[in-house]
Chains A and B, each alone.
Chain A
Amino acid sequence: GAVVSQHPSRVICKSGTSVKIECRSLDFQATTMFWYRQFPKQSLMLMATSNEGSKATYEQGVEKDKFLINHASLTLSTLTVTSAHPEDSSFYICSALPADYNEQFFGPGTRLTVL
């Protein structure tokens, strides 16, 4: 089956620093990747849609200057949380969509804690 990895799995950082999260599709090429955020006991909220070689499309209410997304290749997308604050602490999950396919494959998630 299709495998998606995320790195790091957990990160703790100080307030004001930036954190980069990587999402990789290991055995397929993903023309589209999605970034979600999930707060405790809540569902996944789509933050942005990332297409290889083009700018990401952000959902309403998501600050594009704070959550920088780069989809430089067909197997890698990165999310950078800039100037992180405690309220950014959350579980960040990416998913990857193979070309001509309707099912997304999810990464294992990254737990971000901002002190």
Chain B
Amino acid sequence: GQNIDQPTEMTATEGAIVQINCTYQTSGFNGLFWYQQHAGEAPTFLSYNVLDGLEEKGRFSSFLSRSKGYSYLLLKELQMKDSASYLCAVSPEWEGQGGKLIFGQGTELSVKP
């Protein structure tokens, strides 16, 4: 089966750094995505990792270790607007199923003043 785990909730302070972890066990692996979703809105793309290592994009960084089935999303210099749900999603490598995503349950991040 497919299994993606991430913490349900996290709280952090404005200006701080927060790391959201994601572990996965899937039948195959063709990349891992992080999305941000505000309540009642569609997810917006944050990052994509397919090779091991760290990808940095402004205040957001994402790390992947394929051997450990592990990723994290790092948010620096937190702002109040970063309060949202963060979704980890894996693209399993299935025949004829290109692009299919399996989502974790999402991590609800609350940024406090």
Contact = CB atoms under 8 A, between A and B. Distances in A.
B106 A102 contact: no
Interface string A75-115: 00000000000000001010001000111111111010000
B98 A42 contact: no
Which among A34, A42, A93, A102 has the highest number of chain B CB atoms within 10 Å? Answer: A102
Contact of A109 (B30, B40, B98): B40
Given A32-B98, A32-B99, A103-B48, A111 B104 contact: no
B104 A43 contact: yes
Interface residues of B, number: 23
Contacts of B103: 36, 43-46
Interface string B30-54: 1101000000111111001000000
B43 A106 contact: yes
Interface of B is mostly: loop
A112 B97 CA distance: 28
B18 interface: no
B1 to A, nearest CB: 10
Contacts of B41: 108-109
A25 interface: no
Nearest to A42: B105
27 contacts: A32-B98, A32-B99, A34-B100, A34-B101, A36-B103, A41-B108, A42-B105, A43-B105, A44-B87, A46-B101, A49-B100, A57-B97, A93-B42, A97-B98, A101-B99, A102-B31, A102-B99, A103-B33, A103-B45, A103-B48, A104-B99, A104-B101, A106-B42, A106-B43, A108-B41, A109-B41, A111-B40
Interface of B: 30-31, 33, 40-45, 48, 87, 91, 97-106, 108
